[in-house]
Amino acid sequence: MSFLVEENTAKRRFEILVDDALGGFAVYTPRGETLVFTHTEVDGRFQGKGVGAALVRGALDQVRARGGRVVAQCPFVAAFIERHPEYADLLADAA
């Protein structure tokens, strides 16, 4: 199974392709250089296979590469960052 995470700026979300099929997405609202992640969804066919974690990791890596920050309103993104403290430096104040 191959994963590719791409940003779809028109839909304001990061999408993960799993073997060329849309496996899920993480929706955000831009706030300057900060992205407020509000919802993450993984297709039922791919749940429990690490697709959600790969999606969030890929999205956060892209945000880091461009010097951005995130607000994790989405419980899945928040839990991922809590389990992977190497991403905690990306967290911006929620205010």
Q: What is the pLDDT of residue 1?
A: 83
> In 3D, which of 40, 38, 36, 33 has the Cα closest to residue 95?
36
Q: What is the pLDDT of residues 19-44, one digit of tens each?
A: 989 999 999 999 999 999 999 999 99
State pTM to two decimals.
Answer: 0.94
The superfamily in CATH containing domain 3-90 is Gcn5-related N-acetyltransferase (GNAT) (3.40.630.30)
| Burial per residue of 15-54, b for 16 or more beta-carbon CB atoms within 10 angstroms, e otherwise | bbebeeeebbbbbbeeeeebbbbbebbbeeebeeeebbbb
Token pair 């073997």: residue: 19
Both structure tokens of 8? 């779809």
Residue 34, CB half-sphere, CA atoms under 13 Å: how many?
14
Domain boundaries, the chain: 3-90
Q: What is the pLDDT of residues 57-85, one digit of tens each?
A: 999 999 999 999 999 999 999 999 999 99
